[in-house]
Amino acid sequence: MDIQELITKSSSEQRKALLNKEVSSEELVNEIYKKVETVDKEIGAYNSLTKDFAIETARNVDEKIRKGEELPPLAGIPLALKDNINLKGYSTTASSKILANFVSPYDATVTKKLKSNMIPIIGKANLDEFAMGSSNENSAFKIVRNPWNLKKVPGGSSGGSAAAVAAGEATFALGSDTGGSIRLPASYCGLVGLKPTYGRVSRYGLIAFASSLDQIGPITRTVEDAALLLNAIAGHDEKDSTSLNMTPPDFTQGIHNDLKGVKIGYIKELCSEGLSDDVAKAIQSSIEKYKSMGAEIVEISLPLIKYSIAVYYIIATAEASSNLARFDGVKYGYRTKNPENLYDMYVKTRAEGFGDEVKRRIMLGTYALSSGYYDAYYKKAQQLRRLIKQDFDTAFSKVDVLISPTCPHTAFDIGSKVEDPLSMYLTDIATITANLAGIPAMNIPIGLDSDRMPIGLQLQANSLNETKLLNVAFKLEEAVQFNYSIPSMSLV
């Protein structure tokens, strides 16, 4: 297989080529960098490249292959790392001016796991500043463009991670998901995106946005790749107090199982009104495919889902207000020039260092937590969050997996929602509930709309049930046969 074609394939196909010595990991990595050099000026997927690290890792993999030594399943396969995950000795900016010159002094736990699995990290992927956004237009450095159509957004906040994979600038990527920030970009870019159960993957070394919602997860071309990458990064971490103290299963086991007897619930509130015609048809087609595979389809109602946007944006902004207080210009990051006093330094550093969307969310969160409003807003939101989780518990007592659109529409034009924050927030209507409930959820591409833009289906399962989630996703992937090759419009 030609190496230019190989970089568009799954990790399994690339690993086979590596072990058969048809190509070396160093050649694979260098070909990826050629692709980055060719297309990334248009796409803007990367904030920075980590070429010396990637090449060194690739050479170590090649040496082990020459010696016939056993390798981890993903060794030598190129990955993009979202730029809010720390990599020791390299910049970690969260796409914010306030961290523009920050070099991480330590590795995130997931980064250590990538290193132990000998996975070359190509670079740090662009994102919405501090992961706050649904379109990747909020980066302090540059907008990310969708490789399927450069006039469209790639989704956010992990837009750089998704665009890199879709454009052939990485085989797979890690993103973070606070309210859909893995699944939405995966949907817009025609990829698989998985948000694991809260606590399944350590958050140590992830720059926090909303600590009770954030979760690191994979963005890949195939369901099997998502399972393999989750295998590499999952597990207990004593440095993260919310990390689940249990040994994770092999997530690749059982993904080939048939679906006879599996109960799949379609969420009534998300599968009826508000969908574009193309999305509605694709969802119905997927339901029919599941029926043909022997799955039982059940209508499920989540009556409190109508409150989810309000609940999410109170809790997320409140936690952001607390987490981002550490960026004050004192110990690290950007500091304003010539402040008059300490207070002036705080005010000007944050005014100059944070972008508009980050400021908006800090102000909303500070207001929700303020004296006199805490009970009315934050406490009430947490009570509703518990009731939303109970809705899911009731649903999962009836079905194994829930399905819905990942988004009511496909990728929208760059700039079309910038002046309307509420409209932008509503793009997350289907995804945020999984973060509120702490359950695993994923996107799988199911076709293209009339403008040739990818359509995504969301699957959700009960806590710790990623294996069933991946099984149901894999069987639909087989039936749909979505073309994961680099979109032909990547340079248009």
Encode pLDDT of 174-203 as tens digits.
999 999 999 999 999 999 999 999 999 999
Q: Of 139, 157, 308, 490, which residue is the catalytic one?
A: 157
Number of folded domains that form the chain: 1
> How many angstroms separate the CA atoms of 388 and 5, rounded?
45
- C-beta atoms surrounding 416 within 10 Å: 15
**Residue 491: is its pLDDT beyond 50?**
no
Residues sharing a CB contact under 8 Å with residue 271, sequence separation 6 or more, in sequence order? 280, 283, 403, 404, 405
Q: Which two tokens stand for residue 104?
A: 């991480």
Cα–chain center distance at 472: 20
The model's confidence at residue 486, banded by pLDDT at 50, 70 and 90, is low
Give the residue-averaged pLDDT of 427-434. 94
Question: Is 10 in the active site?
Answer: no
Helices (H) and strands (E) in the chain, counts: 16, 11
Range of the domain at 481: 1-492
The model's confidence at residue 490, banded by pLDDT at 50, 70 and 90, is very low
Residues sharing a CB contact under 8 Å with residue 403, sequence separation 6 or more, in sequence order? 264, 265, 266, 267, 271, 283, 286, 287, 290, 457, 458, 459, 460
Q: Of 181, 187, 243, 308, which residue is the catalytic one?
A: 181
**Residue 324: is its pLDDT beyond 90?**
yes
Sign of dihedral through CA atoms 440, 443, 446, 450? positive
The model's confidence at residue 84, banded by pLDDT at 50, 70 and 90, is very high
> How many angstroms separate the CA atoms of 27 and 71, rounded?
18
Sign of dihedral through CA atoms 174, 235, 322, 392? positive
3-state secondary structure 164-218: HHHCCCCCEEEEEECCCCCHHHHHHHCCEEEECCCCCCCCCCECCCCCCCCEEEE
> How many angstroms separate the CA atoms of 95 and 98, rounded?
9
List, edge to edge, every strand of the sheet that includes 46-49: 46-49, 121-125, 79-82, 172-177, 215-220, 192-195, 441-448, 454-461, 401-405, 263-267, 296-300
CB-CB contact of 122 with 114 (8 Å): no
CB-CB contact of 174 with 219 (8 Å): yes
Q: Of 82, 113, 124, 475, which residue is the catalytic one?
A: 82
277-322 pLDDT per residue, tens: 999 999 999 999 999 999 999 999 999 999 999 999 999 999 999 9
> How many angstroms separate the CA atoms of 337 and 104, rounded?
23
**Residue 485: is its pLDDT beyond 80?**
no
Q: What percent of the chain has pLDDT over 70?
A: 98
Question: Is 211 in the active site?
Answer: no
Averaged pLDDT of the chain: 95
**Residue 234: is its pLDDT beyond 50?**
yes
Residues sharing a CB contact under 8 Å with residue 24, sequence separation 6 or more, in sequence order? 18, 58, 62, 65
7-62 pLDDT per residue, tens: 999 999 999 999 999 999 999 999 999 999 999 999 999 999 999 999 999 999 99
Q: For residue 457, which phi and psi values (nearest 5 degrees)? A: -110, 135
Residues sharing a CB contact under 8 Å with residue 163, sequence separation 6 or more, in sequence order? 43, 44, 45, 125, 126, 136, 144, 145, 146, 147, 154, 169, 185, 189
Query: Which CATH number characterizes residue 252's domain?
Result: 3.90.1300.10
**Residue 484: is its pLDDT beyond 80?**
no
Question: Is 263 in the active site?
Answer: no
Q: Which two tokens stand for residue 48?
A: 């920075």
Which amino acid, one-letter code, is at 410?
Answer: T
Cα–chain center distance at 346: 32
Q: Which pLDDT score is estimated for 488? A: 62
Q: Which pLDDT score is estimated for 418? A: 82
pTM of the model: 0.96
